[in-house]
Chain A
Amino acid sequence: MKVAKPANRNVGERTLGAAVEVENLEYTYRDGTRALKGLSLTIPRGARVAVLGPNGAGKSTLLLHLNGIYLPQKGRVRVLGREVSPHTEDWVRTRVGLVFQDPDDQVFSSTVWEDVAFGPTNLGLSETETRARVEKSLAAVGMEDYGDRVPHHLSYGEKKRVAIAGILAMEPEVVVLDEPTAYLDPRGKESVLGIMEELHRRGKTLVVATHDVDLAAEWAEMVVVIKDGMVFAAGGTDLLVDEEVIRQADLALPRVARIFQQVSGLKTRACPKTVKEAVEYLENLTGHCDVR
């Protein structure tokens, strides 16, 4: 994928079957903060997208537009081809699920089961259908034995999984996660990444807002860098080792790339970014000079 440097102009041709299309989106908060200043973005169906950017770049504001919690003040947002508006906001919330960063903001019911049932019940589904969805969603996050538990007795990672289950029970096509791995211990992180992998396998479109460049390098296939309320750059994971992008958007090199840059003065573009790429690179190298 080609790097679209300051892509604040129109994204151009509308991808057929795009999951989400955002065009010239602007949003100003009541206190006068201009959070989004003409942001445009196309997310293909089934993609794994990492949205990166410094604090205050407008990531959260963008995410809240994706399921109609905020409606565009200017510009438009299309989800699966339908424009998000007051008429479609109920529908868009069944298509785009938003997992909040702090599970305590999302998991509010007094039992896990009831919390996961909250979405389906709001959709007006029958009791049998609700039950089926709750069981399926809890199983998908490995929490099927926790239905009767009280959320505040759970660990942070468990609460996070319950929050994800609550979104899965809405059976959305697009799942948006705000900092899914923040504050998690390695095991919790592993388990959330596993859930994300499984969702991808089932054909869901995944959008992840994160500060974690290593996560973006390892997991994403598309990277969107946001700065000052606009898309600064969008493209493949190569963006993550693009010096210009990193410097301008206050990002850092992925850890693997940092090592290779210091060791051999590699040209940034060819530099390995993930553990897998590094292993391949090293194997190539040792194969060439036959170190034994």
Chain B
Amino acid sequence: MGFLEHPVIDQYAGLSSPIHAVEPRIKLVSCLGLMVSIVSLSSVAALVGAVLVLAVFLLVSRLPVRYVLARLLVALPFSAAVLFLLPFTEGGSPLLVLDLGFWHLAASREGFTHAVVLSLRLVAALLVVTLLTSTTRFTTLLRAMESLRVPPIFPRLMEFTVRYLFILVDEIQRMQRARQSRGFKARRLWEPTTLRTLGQLIGVLFLRSLERSERVYLAMRSRGFSGQVRVHLSFRVKPWDYCWSGLIISVALLLMAVDRGGFWH
């Protein structure tokens, strides 16, 4: 049951590299800025440049290549759909014409370019996210968000989600095994018994989660929680952090310049 295994997003956060060493708040803001500038790019050249620059960053960060590629797989269904559909739905100069008797399909060059641009944007954005979340501990990232005055409800919500996701996954697994040991086999989804069983599973999970959330809240109040989230933070900005910020700003500006046809004309 591979999909039920506990997801770990920061397993490589303990490595040491110049990217790991960037102060978390600066890393968060710079990566967000870089992402915004990348998403605004619309030429293939600039986007390829962005992907290459990010590849260099990722190499410097010593993240295993396999791991990064696995994270990119998320983009595959979307990219595939876009590459398959857009050339046929957008008008423009024909690139490829399919003649299926009474059906006449034309793939446009503009549509194809558009699909490539969208896919590249997605890949580049995913690379930025991977760079950020894989070189920073999850908790550190949350504390950085809090320190940047992100409304505390968001980091807390993320923290709770990740913490209790594992427990929920364990609970599903236990229930699944208990059903299997009484002879239940998930057959086709449209069979009434399968549907009913799965419906009950979801219902029970909701109920259990609700009850647990109540107990968690009581336990939090027992330790003096009164709705206010308080944390002690200790981040220090080093010279390298200024270099990193400068580097990211220049990369972003350069990419945008390339995108607009270059400042050298």
Contacts and interface: CB of A to CB of B under 8 A. Distances in A.
A152 B163 contact: yes
Interface of A: 64, 67, 69, 90, 93-94, 97-98, 100, 102, 104-106, 108-111, 114, 117-119, 121-124, 127, 130, 151-152, 166-167, 170
B224 A97 contact: no
Contact of B222 (A98, A109, A123, A124): A98
Interface of B: 6, 138-139, 142, 159-160, 162-164, 166-167, 212, 215-216, 218-226, 228, 230-232, 234
Given A108-B160, A110-B163, A123 B138 contact: no
B232 A117 contact: yes
A121 B146 CA distance: 15
Main secondary structure of the interface of B (DSSP, over half): helix
Contact of B223 (A118, A127, A152): A118
B64 to A, nearest CB: 21
Given A100-B215, A127-B232, A170 B163 contact: no
Contacts of A119: 223-224
B230 to A, nearest CB: 5
B232 to A, nearest CB: 4
A109 B163 contact: yes
Contacts of B166: 152
Given A109-B163, A110-B163, A122-B224, A100 B219 contact: yes
Contacts of B164: 108
Contact of A152 (B6, B139, B224, B228): B6
8 nearest interchain CB pairs?
A122-B224, A119-B223, A105-B215, A106-B219, A152-B166, A127-B232, A98-B222, A110-B139
Nearest to B221: A69
Considering residues A110, A124, A152, A167, which has the most beta carbons from chain B within 10 angstroms of its beta carbon?
A110
